[in-house]
């Protein structure tokens, strides 16, 4: 049988988590020959996801360097992929989301006239610099892509407004929910000593993550100072912050929150302990994109430490609040949830506007249909 060659290209932790369910499905599909390429824009944070989901890349560009610039990432990905694409001749390339790997991989594929399918397409803030550079990475990828796998109806609408033909958009749900459902387990036991010792039943555990480029500097300082005051003023709370490996984030985090009682600055967690930590936390404070999608599914209120979000669905459902990066506003928003049980209950509803755990299956089915290998066009998420 003539198989279609489907190449998946990704480089960072969240792309790997969200592409893992798709790669699994591609590998299970007899009509498809999967080719997995990592740019390794991230290294340790990517490798732990590959280990967890047992993904063995066919090509590893190994581009990461400490304190890398956006230009360095873009140039190295473009150069590295030229040879890989020429050597393997894929029928289609799958990219994910909005990182610099995503955009550069799309551009490299376009240069070789290879079709591009964009997974998690259509998220928009329509603010060029927020998030930076992700908003432009998404726009630029959309312009280059031939097929758009939008996670929600809202993302479909965004693409339609940009004149992407309706028949090039397919709503799948977000693959992050596929990964999450496979990973959270009520009986999970933490290996990390610090997490093992936390009394999740009797303490209010606040989970913090922050890494966005546009927050580095004053906004991130505000975030950490607000977190510090919250912990100091509320003796029944504990703060857990798995600190991203970006050296600038680490410097700020340790200078403000290092050595403080009931503050646990830990290394980035592997996905399995992290997902299970989310499930046991009281609330989540974050500027992450993926965590905004996961935590609502676990019934955890999310305070978003950004001025904009491209993920309005959970805000509308009432489980996510935008607090921005003003220390006072962050403090007041979190404080209310710690002290006002009614306010907490109102936000702590499990909702899943982002997916139903079947997104990867929809993507692969649609690929088969696109290549004439199946008559079944598939059914979209929510329809």
Residues 42, 138, 156, 244: which is the catalytic one?
244
In the chain, the largest separation of any two C-alpha atoms, in whole Å, equals 66
For ligand UD1, the binding residue among 3, 33, 43, 203 (CB under 6 A) is: 43
Give residue 173's region: left, alpha or beta (phi > 0; psi -120 to 50): left
Smallest gap from Cβ 244 to ligand UD1, in A, equals 6
241 scored as a contact of ligand UDP (CB under 6 A)? no
Tell me, by CB under 6 A, how many residues bind ligand UD1.
25
The secondary structure element, H or E, covering residue 20 is: helix 13-28
100 scored as a contact of ligand UD1 (CB under 6 A)? yes
User: Which residues make Cβ contacts (< 8 Å) with residue 291, sequence separation at least 6?
Assistant: 209, 278, 284, 302
355 scored as a contact of ligand UDP (CB under 6 A)? no
Interacting positions 200-239 with ligand UDP (CB under 6 A): 209, 211
Q: In what order do the strands lie in the sheet with 302-304?
A: 263-266, 237-242, 204-209, 283-286, 302-304, 320-322
Residues 13, 15, 42, 98: which is the catalytic one?
98
Q: Is 213 a catalytic residue?
A: yes
User: Which residues make Cβ contacts (< 8 Å) with residue 70, sequence separation at least 6?
Assistant: 100, 133
48 scored as a contact of ligand UD1 (CB under 6 A)? no
Smallest gap from Cβ 283 to ligand UD1, in A, equals 21
Whole-angstrom distance, CA of residue 351 vs CA of residue 349? 6
> Which residues face 242 on adjacent strands?
266
Buried b (16+ CB within 10 A) or exposed e, 128-162: eebbebbbebbebbbebbebbbbbbbbbbebbeee
Give residue 169's region: left, alpha or beta (phi > 0; psi -120 to 50): beta
For ligand UD1, the binding residue among 5, 33, 245, 335 (CB under 6 A) is: 245
Nearer to ligand UDP, 219 or 242 (CB): 242
Nearer to ligand UDP, 354 or 368 (CB): 354
Q: To which residue do tokens 């500097």 refer?
A: 217
Smallest gap from Cβ 347 to ligand UD1, in A, equals 24
Nearer to ligand UDP, 7 or 284 (CB): 284
Whole-angstrom distance, CA of residue 172 vs CA of residue 119? 9
Stretch that binds ligand UDP, among 2-10, 13-21, 247-255, 344-352 (CB under 6 A): 13-21
Interacting positions 191-220 with ligand UD1 (CB under 6 A): 211, 213
Cis previous bond, 133, omega within 30: yes
Q: Is 134 a catalytic residue?
A: yes
* Residue 96 burial (10 A CB sphere; 0-12, 13-18, 19+): buried
For ligand UD1, the binding residue among 18, 24, 25, 42 (CB under 6 A) is: 42
Interacting positions 272-311 with ligand UD1 (CB under 6 A): none
How many other CB atoms are there within 10 angstroms of residue 335's CB atom?
15
Stretch that binds ligand UD1, among 44-52, 112-120, 296-304, 354-362 (CB under 6 A): 44-52
> Which of 333, 382, 347 lies closest to 362 in space, CA to CA?
382
Q: Which two tokens stand for residue 376?
A: 């079944």
Q: To which residue do tokens 């890398």 refer?
A: 68
Which x/- pattern over 53-72 shows residues binding ligand UD1 (rule: CB under 6 A)?
Answer: -----------x-xxx-x--
User: Which residues make Cβ contacts (< 8 Å) with residue 274, sequence separation at least 6?
Assistant: 242, 268
For ligand UDP, the binding residue among 91, 216, 268, 378 (CB under 6 A) is: 268
Smallest gap from Cβ 55 to ligand UD1, in A, equals 15
17 scored as a contact of ligand UDP (CB under 6 A)? yes
Smallest gap from Cβ 15 to ligand UD1, in A, equals 8
Q: Is 236 a catalytic residue?
A: no
Q: Which residues bind ligand UDP (CB under 6 A)?
A: 13-14, 17, 176, 209, 211, 242, 268-269, 271, 274-275, 288-291, 294
Q: Catalytic residue numbers?
A: 98, 120, 134, 211, 213, 244
Q: Which residues bind ligand UD1 (CB under 6 A)?
A: 12-14, 41-46, 64, 66-68, 70, 73, 98-100, 133-134, 211, 213, 245-247
């Amino acid at each position: 049988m003539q198989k279609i060659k489907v190449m998946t290209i990704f480089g960072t932790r969240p792309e790997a988590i969200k592409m893992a369910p798709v790669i699994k499905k591609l590998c299970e599909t007899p009509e498809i020959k999967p080719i997995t390429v990592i740019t390794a824009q991230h290294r340790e944070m990517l490798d732990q996801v590959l280990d967890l989901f047992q993904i063995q890349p066919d090509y590893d560009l190994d581009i990461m360097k400490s304190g890398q610039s956006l230009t360095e990432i873009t140039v190295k990905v473009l150069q590295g992929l030229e040879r890989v694409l020429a050597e393997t001749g894929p029928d289609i390339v799958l990219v994910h989301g909005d990182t610099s790997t995503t955009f550069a991989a799309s551009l490299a594929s376009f240069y070789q006239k290879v079709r591009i399918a964009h997974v998690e397409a259509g998220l928009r803030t329509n603010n060029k610099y927020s998030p930076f550079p992700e908003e432009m990475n998404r726009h630029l990828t959309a312009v280059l892509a031939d097929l758009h796998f939008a996670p929600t109806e809202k993302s479909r609408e965004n693409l339609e407004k940009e004149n992407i033909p309706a028949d090039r958009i397919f709503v799948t749900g977000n693959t992050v929910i596929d990964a999450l459902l496979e990973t959270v387990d009520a009986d999970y036991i933490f290996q990390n000593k610090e997490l093992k010792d936390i009394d999740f039943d009797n303490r209010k555990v606040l989970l913090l993550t922050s890494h966005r480029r546009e927050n580095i500097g004053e906004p991130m300082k505000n975030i950490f100072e607000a977190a510090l005051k919250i912990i100091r003023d509320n003796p029944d709370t504990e703060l857990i912050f798995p600190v991203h490996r970006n050296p600038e984030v680490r410097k700020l985090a340790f200078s403000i929150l290092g050595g403080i009682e009931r503050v646990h600055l830990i290394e980035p967690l592997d996905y399995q302990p992290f997902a299970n930590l989310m499930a046991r936390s009281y609330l989540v404070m974050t500027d992450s994109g993926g965590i905004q999608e996961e935590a609502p599914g676990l019934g955890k209120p999310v305070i978003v430490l950004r001025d904009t979000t491209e993920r309005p669905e959970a805000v509308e459902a009432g489980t996510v609040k935008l607090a921005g990066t003003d220390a006072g506003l962050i403090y007041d928003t979190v404080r209310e949830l710690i002290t006002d049980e009614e306010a907490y209950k109102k936000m702590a509803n499990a909702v899943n506007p982002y997916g139903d755990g079947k997104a990867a299956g929809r993507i692969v089915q649609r690929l088969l249909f696109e290549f004439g290998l199946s008559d079944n066009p598939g059914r979209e998420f929510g329809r």
